[in-house]
Amino acid sequence: MLSLPLIALGLSACDGESPVVDSNSQVFTEAGTASAITPDLRLNDREYFQAPGVNILAFSNPPGGLFYDAKTSGIEIIQRGERIATNGDLRLLHTPEQWDGMGQLIERSVEREASRIEARLEYPELGFSYRVVAQAEGGKMEISVQLDEPLPQKLAGKAGFNMEFLPASYFGKAYLMDGRGGLFPRHPGGGMQFDETGRTEPLPLATGHKLVLSPEDPINRVAIRNLGGDNPLMLFDGRNKAQNGWFVVRSLIPAGRSGEVVRWELDVQADPDWIRKPVIGFSQAGYHPAQPKRAVIELDSNDKPHDHARLLKIEPDGKKSTALDAAVDSWGEYLRYRYVTFDFSAVAQPGLYQIEYGDQLSAPFPIDAAAHADIWQPTLDVFLPVQMDHMEVREAYRVWHGRSHLDDALQAPADYEHFDLYAHNAQTDTKFKPFEHIPGLDVGGWYDAGDYDIRTQSQYHTVRNLVHAWEEFGIDRDNTTISQQKRSVQMHRPDGVPDIIQQIEHGTLALIAQHRALGHAIPGIVAAHLYQYPHLGDGSTKTDNRVYARALDPFAEERRVGKMYLPSTVAPPPERRVMNTDGEKSGEFDDRWAFTSNTSALNYGSAAALAAASRALRNYNEKLADECLATAVRVWQYEQQREPNLYHYGNTTGGRLEEEQLAAAVELLISTEDAQYAASVHTLLPQVRERFAFNAVTLAQAIPLMDEDFRDNMQQLARDYREQIRAFERETPYGVPVTRGGWAGAGGVVNFGNTNYWLHKHFPHIVENDLVFRSLDYILGRHPGSNLSLVSGVGAESKLVAYGSNRADFSFIPGGVVPGVLILPPDFPENKENWPFFWGQNEYVITVGASYIFLANAVQALLQPEDI
């Protein structure tokens, strides 16, 4: 994958006098130093430590990250281009889980001349602060924890310095602790014990003062020496607590001491000759003969570029002929790499090809008019069905999941903050009492992502994207049987109805159910308890699928907000489990909760999707189509007559008010051609033009029903937008926006392509079709860090370990689109191929799946319009 440079050497595997010879025939002394001179660690101008083949970051990212512990902070190790360790910091548990406490970064200071980085952090809720110092000493690093005052008594025996190592990097490898060997377990290993609070904690796999990870393999060899004396190193397997846990090396902080309380020597195997292999970025699914074809080749900063690349044609007998031998063009530097490009657009002959650059050879790919014809089908055929809530989903012999969440949903209480960005203020905006069942919500909807909540914003964006794909491209593929009456889905079994229509219906049913039950859109439905939330496996086993009945619950009086008997992360003990049932009801308090705030932005967003769905559902479900349009009109009138409810929390209460209102106005305009909605579009244009890129699709869809003045305004906005694109055309060799946030940018690139499709459709002289093609190329493999297709199962090499509901199996859902390449500050692009649990890199979401269906069909339509 990616590359970075950082530290030196590993400790010896033995304590005697005999030297140890590794597989590269380098001789190591007892102390673990090489007989040759080890390269020193240097603090570079990007403020991380560097040696050949090794980088060490020290709080380049603040603790927490997106959705709390994103495992992208503290002391981190990148070895031979792979990030293998993270979260080197003071923690309060042996193997903390995602929502367990982390220190807050107060200050980070860098002393270049002294090769020293110091971070000051605190746990404000505990009144406790500390410093972590990383100091390069030749080819090694010393890490210390320093306290101005001794630990608070309540943290004695709990606070310690941890560093977490990626399990996938150490599967099949060994470790040595004080000369005693062991093997890293592939499945969670080691014993467990209860602490004084009744919480389970793992027992260490090994304890001692000198630990060598992977002593047999220099690629992952890291040595840690405890220089602190009386606080030994402990090695834990964090996966015993959570499947996304890592191997943890830990030293407890001694009680009653201040000053330097922990001191480690960190020795990472460097390689003076290491150079990261070139990565040939190209579309893993292939190319249409008529489209531009350009590979982007990513090079180590120390690599010497080749002058030429070749395009090889694979013949039926397996022989390869040169279709093109051409010079590569130097692009320049981006992040930590250098780039050259190889343009083979001139080759249009259909066939099977590979790209050769130096000793690197790409996977095979076709050049063919049908190269993009079916690349969206796994998303419609498999991914969206797997995400369908309230349904049993079958694929031949396999059951992806049973009928889930048939007990939806209980009213969430007021004045409550949920752990996954849902909340209520003092108002719930319903007639239902806290924990009372809201009937009618157990229908439709997709699992939002790799988890199981029904996030309303995701539902209505997905519905709109599918409607637009249906209307624009006439997608009539029928490969799935879907029955809402039977709550049943069977893949690879046609039923005479276009699948995209049935998916639109499924999302629409969840949206309309909210209006039927409550009279307005709601933020969504989500697992109530943290122990339920990270559930992995069949969604039908997450609850008992029986509606909670207070009368059947002997613990009902204890269920008050702030005084629940359930610890937030711990399942109820056996004696607290309720088995009382009565038909479809039970006393088990496991039902999901509905957050029900009546916000204007959500209402407009939901109305937009319902108005759009009414068009797609015509001639299929006329009754539902009528109800959708009538509901959308009613919601519009309601919101136009009241002061907007602007309550906002997290990402669940709607987007920007003016943008959601614009979406509703445009979809209602298309559905009714009523002039009042055109007038609203005119009024809203000045309010949304500053964020034109985010609203261009919606605005462009209105053009056929608007006047010439509107079109003229849109044309000028399109010109300005095209000029803005030139900024990231200069910034990256990929010609698309590569985001720098905590969630990687595949979704943004897909939306970029779709935006350019609509603008090209109306203004082809301003926005060229290549802007659409390059977005799809990025998603299919032409991106930083690796060349995997970001669509699971699409292309010769694609994401096959991803964050879906089956992530604990290290598997994938065909057609799911992952977020892709996450840029870790300051300059490291990462998309882990062997570890699914990075949600910001590997988590499927339904909105991107639906918008990808549109993009793939848009590219095919531009290249082969007669087929659409």
Q: Does residue 849 sit in the same domain as residue 741?
A: yes
CA–CA dist 179, 212 (Å, integer): 9
- Kindly list the distances between the CA atom of residue 338 and the CA atoms of 70, 331, 413, 732, in Å, as whole numbers in the listed order: 28, 8, 54, 11
Question: What pLDDT sits at residue 337?
Answer: 98
Clarify whether residues 395 and 351 are in a common domain.
no
Name the token pair of 90.
Answer: 């003071």
Residue where one domain finishes, among candidates 312, 344, 367: 367
Do 729 and 828 sit in the same domain of this protein?
yes
Does 737 lie in the same domain as 758? yes
Q: Are 861 and 473 in contact (CB under 8 A)?
A: yes
Query: pLDDT tens for residues 231-270?
Result: 899 999 999 999 999 999 999 999 999 999 999 999 999 9
Give the burial string for 672-709 (b: 16+ CB within 10 Å, else e): eeeeebbebbbebbeebbeebbebbbbbbbbbebbeee
pLDDT of residue 866: 67
Name the domain boundary from 367, 386, 410.
Answer: 367
Whether 487 is covered by a domain: the verdict is yes
2 in a structural domain: no
Strand 200-202 and strand 308-314: the pairing is unpaired
Q: Are residues 482 and 351 in the same domain?
A: no
Report pLDDT for 20.
30
**Owner of token pair 């209860």:** 194
The CATH number assigned to the domain holding 77 equals 2.70.98
Kindly state whether residues 29 and 95 are assigned to the same domain: yes
Q: Is 69 in the same domain as 94?
A: yes
- Structurally, how many domains does the chain consist of? 3
Contact by Cβ (8 Å): 827, 753: no
Strand residue runs (E) in 570-695: 581-582, 585-586, 593-595
358 and 384 inside one domain: no
In a domain, 9, yes or no: no
Report the distance separating Cα 236 and Cα 97, nearest Å: 13
803 touches 818 (CB < 8 A): yes
* Separation CA 77–CA 58 (nearest Å): 9
350 plus 393 within the same structural domain:
no
- Residue ranges of the chain with per-residue pLDDT less than 50: 1-36, 562, 565-567, 868
Burial class (CB in 10 A: 0-12, 13-18, 19+), 197: exposed
Residues 6+ away with beta carbon under 8 Å from 319: none
What share of residues in the chain are helix, strand, coil (percent, to 5)? Answer: 25, 25, 50
Residue 228 placed within a domain: yes
- Structural domain includes residue 57: yes
Domain of residue 46, residue span = 20-268
Task: Tell me if 407 sits within 8 A of 591, measured CB to CB.
Answer: yes
Beta bridge partners of 411: 594
Based on the domain organization, do 438 and 348 belong to the same domain? Answer: no
The answer to whether residues 116 and 231 belong to one domain is yes
The 10 Å Cβ neighbour count of residue 803 is 28
CATH code at position 347: 2.60.40.10
Asked, for residue 730, whether it belongs to a domain, the answer is yes
